[in-house]
Chains A and B, each alone.
Chain A
């Protein structure tokens, strides 16, 4: 049996030096031309998480999600056959956005413009005066989008013929994600933010702990300890374009009274349900391009950073829970956990924007990552490999060396 070390052991610089030690060019974090390459090389051809199956609880359920970076709106449906399908939310008559609502339940979708009506399977069911058109109904179905599910999370790929299925894209991480409590979530809390910052700069903030003691001196105090003053992780792992870290738990964390009560209650609920046990409960997953998943069933949240422009992004944070609030205590504990996570992310947002303002000046040719910021370095390499392949006209299509 392997004993858990009682004191923190820093991952060695040698463990991560294989990813390089050179400075990283600053341009990709603010330049419009690089963002345009990312748009084509990555976001139009990579699996992007867009929702959770708990939002499609029954036949007829649907959600609509924007993907601004691709100027796309995606309609996702659950059919009577229980199958989850995705389509461009675009009427095939003249391109009108078909569904205006963000979610709901319907047997069919009717365009407000000329009343073309589509089924949950995307087929054009009816269109007024259709005999006057010069096209077959069978050619007028909604344009499908590749969709698949892992750990309850719905992913889409805007490539008409994705080079990889979702399972191949996620690799060994898919199996790990399926063990997490989010895979069985039935509800969620959510907060969102917009930020004047590049999507990589934003996401990088959540990929390193170096900033924690300076930006979260109070909200992150419990994560630090005398032998790990920066709250660094205990381990990093790399899986193609994805990466994980194993977080360090401070055994002597000094919890505050009601904080202790709320988090203790969530821990009790999680401990009482063996299905929430996971050997990856202390892992954080960073899925390419910009999806953060925290494994712990006590605070199980998913944080998606969606690019809008080279220097603007939107963050969506969801705390995924199994079951509706069962009683007052659970309601209180869940509300507290949302307030707690939101406070931390609020602090992050401010300093990320400050970083973007500095980079936008063009003052820096390079930025620097230390060994404990290796996950940021790994993301840049994954992005740049695809961008350079695309630029060279080889179409990287999701393959990262």
Chain B
């Protein structure tokens, strides 16, 4: 696989399998991804992304948010999805599915990350 086929910046290849599902724009869509995934899917994403979170943010912090290229935007959106999934994996654990029904009524109408581009 040539590097031109990669969807994320170099160094974050381990996250490539998660791009399609988790790299979505908009906080509402990211919160919905948390609802739509299985326990195994979110655990796999969390386990992989956890170790790469700090280096990925350090990489992205080198650029202003509105200067990201497409690969960097995908990486940022994935990390923002992780911000929601963290709650499911670290905090709610086995209560996550029951909690999803309660969350359905809490409509996100604005997120600061959505104002960056």
Q: Is the CB of B60 within 8 A of A325?
A: no
For chain A, which range describes its interface: under 10, 10 to 19, 20 to 34, or 35 or more residues? 35 or more
Give Cα distance in the complex from A331 to B107, angstroms.
19
Most chain A C-beta atoms within 10 Å of own C-beta, residue among B27, B50, B64: B27
Q: Is the CB of B106 within 8 A of A219?
A: no
Residues of chain A lying within 8 A (CB to CB) of residue B112 = 187-189, 321, 324-325, 331, 334-335
Q: Which of B86, B99, B109 is in CB contact (< 8 Å) with A190?
A: B109
Q: Is the CB of B61 within 8 A of A329?
A: yes
Give Cα distance in the complex from A261 to B90, angstroms.
12
Interface string of B52-94 (1 = CB under 8 A from A): 0110111011001100000000001001101110110011110
Q: Is the CB of B90 within 8 A of A329?
A: no
Interface string of A330-367 (1 = CB under 8 A from B): 01101110111011011101100000000000000000
With known contacts A335-B84, A339-B83, A346-B106, A218–B93 Cβ distance under 8 A: yes
Q: Is the CB of B76 within 8 A of A331?
A: yes
Q: Is the CB of A339 within 8 A of B106?
A: no
With known contacts A338-B27, A346-B99, A188–B110 Cβ distance under 8 A: yes
Closest to A316 in B: B109
A130 within 8 A of B: no
A401 within 8 A of B: no
Most chain A C-beta atoms within 10 Å of own C-beta, residue among B54, B57, B106: B106
With known contacts A259-B86, A324-B115, A347-B102, A190–B110 Cβ distance under 8 A: yes
With known contacts A189-B110, A324-B112, A261–B54 Cβ distance under 8 A: yes
Q: Is the CB of B87 within 8 A of A340?
A: yes
Residues of chain A lying within 8 A (CB to CB) of residue B1 = none
Residues of chain A lying within 8 A (CB to CB) of residue B10 = none
Q: Which of B53, B86, B113 is in CB contact (< 8 Å) with A325?
A: B113
Q: Is the CB of B113 within 8 A of A335?
A: yes
A258 within 8 A of B: yes
Residues of chain A lying within 8 A (CB to CB) of residue B8 = none
Residues of chain B lying within 8 A (CB to CB) of residue A346 = 99, 102-103, 105-106
A18 within 8 A of B: no
Residues of chain A lying within 8 A (CB to CB) of residue B76 = 328, 331
A34 within 8 A of B: no
Q: How far is the CB of A344 from chain B (nearest CB, A)?
A: 10
With known contacts A335-B27, A345-B106, A346-B105, A258–B86 Cβ distance under 8 A: yes
Q: How far is the CB of A102 from chain B (nearest CB, A)?
A: 10
Residues of chain A lying within 8 A (CB to CB) of residue B60 = 327-329
Q: Is the CB of B115 within 8 A of A336?
A: no
Q: Is the CB of A342 within 8 A of B92?
A: no
A201 within 8 A of B: no
Q: Is the CB of B57 within 8 A of A349?
A: no
Closest to A187 in B: B112
Residues of chain B lying within 8 A (CB to CB) of residue A128 = none
Closest to A326 in B: B65
Residues of chain B lying within 8 A (CB to CB) of residue A221 = 91
With known contacts A193-B105, A336-B83, A346-B105, A258–B53 Cβ distance under 8 A: yes
Q: Which of B93, B105, B116 is in CB contact (< 8 Å) with A331?
A: B116
Most chain B C-beta atoms within 10 Å of own C-beta, residue among A192, A335, A342: A335
Q: How far is the CB of B65 from chain A (nearest CB, A)?
A: 6
Q: How far is the CB of A340 from chain B (nearest CB, A)?
A: 6
Q: Is the CB of B83 within 8 A of A191?
A: no
Give Cα distance in the complex from A261 to B17, angstroms.
24
A194 within 8 A of B: yes
Q: How far is the CB of A311 from chain B (nearest CB, A)?
A: 16
Interface string of A178-195 (1 = CB under 8 A from B): 000000000111111111
Q: Can you list 6 A-B pairs with a CB-CB distance of less than 8 A?
A: A187-B115, A256-B91, A328-B56, A328-B76, A343-B99, A349-B102
Given A189-B108, A325-B113, 11 new contacts (CB under 8 A): A190-B108, A193-B107, A257-B50, A258-B53, A261-B54, A328-B61, A328-B65, A332-B83, A335-B27, A342-B106, A346-B103
B residues sitting closer than 8 Å to A (CB atoms) are 27, 30-31, 50, 53-54, 56-58, 60-61, 64-65, 76, 79-80, 82-84, 86-87, 90-93, 95, 99, 102-103, 105-113, 115-116
